[in-house]
Chain A
Amino acid sequence: MTWSYLLKRLAMFVAVVLLAITVNFIVPRLAPGDPTAAVLEQLLSRGQQVEGSQDIVAAYRARFGLDEPILLQYGRYLLNTARFDLGSSISYFPQKVESAIVSALPWTIGLLAVATVISFGLGSLLGALIAWPGSPRFLKSLSPALMVLSAIPYYLLALIILYLLAIWTGWFPLGGAYSQIPQRFDPSTLWDLAYHAFLPALSIVLAGVGFWALGMRGAMINVLGEDYLTLAEAKGLPKGRIFFAYAVRNAMLPQVTSLAIALGTAASGSVLVEVAFNYPGIGYLLYNALRSSDYFLIQGVAFFLVLTVALSVLILDLIYPLLDPRIQRR
Chain B
Amino acid sequence: MNSSLTVKNLRTYFFVDEGIVKAVDGVDLTVGEAETVGVIGESGCGKSVMARSLLRLVVPPGEIVDGSAVLRRKDGSQVDIFSAPPSAEMLREIRGNEMSMVFQEPMTAFSPVHTVGFQISEMVAAHSRMSRKENREYVIDLLRRVGISNPAQRYDEYTYQLSGGMRQRAMIAMAISCSPKIIIADEPTTALDVTIQAQILDLMKELQRQNNMALVYITHDLGLVAENVDRVYVMYLGRVVEVGATRDIFVNPLHPYTQKLLQAVPRLAERQERLAAIEGTVPSALNPPAQCPFFSRCDKAMPGTCDRAIPALTTQAGREVRCFLYSQEQEATNDWQF
Measuring CB to CB, which residues of chain A are less than 8 angstroms from any residue of chain B? Answer: 133-134, 226-228, 230-239, 241, 245-246, 249-250, 253, 323-326, 329
Contact = CB atoms under 8 A, between A and B. Distances in A.
Contact of B101 (A134, A231, A237, A325): A231
Interface in B99-119: 100-101, 103, 105, 108-114, 119
B57 A228 contact: no
Given A227-B109, A235-B122, A329-B160, 19 more contacts: A133-B60, A227-B108, A228-B110, A228-B111, A230-B57, A230-B103, A231-B103, A231-B110, A233-B55, A234-B95, A234-B101, A235-B96, A236-B93, A237-B92, A239-B87, A245-B114, A245-B122, A324-B113, A326-B158
Interface string B70-103: 0000000000000000010000111111001101
B87 A238 contact: no
Interface of B: 52, 55, 57, 59-60, 87, 92-97, 100-101, 103, 105, 108-114, 119, 122-123, 126-127, 158, 160, 174
Contacts of A325: 112-113, 158, 160
Contact of B108 (A228, A234, A241): A228
A96 to B, nearest CB: 46
Contacts of B113: 249-250, 253, 323-326
A246 B57 contact: no
Contacts of B96: 234-236
Contacts, number: 78
Contacts of B93: 236
A233 B95 contact: yes
B97 A250 contact: no
A133 B123 CA distance: 22
B225 to A, nearest CB: 23
Given A231-B101, A231-B103, A237 B123 contact: yes
Contacts of B119: 235
A227 B103 contact: yes
Contact of B112 (A133, A241, A326): A326
Given A227-B103, A231-B103, A325-B158, A236 B111 contact: no
A232 B92 contact: no
A235 B111 contact: no
A232 B97 contact: no
Nearest to A224: B59
Contact of A235 (B52, B60, B87, B126): B126
A235 B59 CA distance: 16
Nearest to A247: B111
A245 B126 CA distance: 14
6 contacts: A227-B109, A231-B101, A233-B55, A235-B174, A236-B123, A325-B113
Contacts of A226: 108
B95 A236 contact: yes
B127 A236 contact: yes
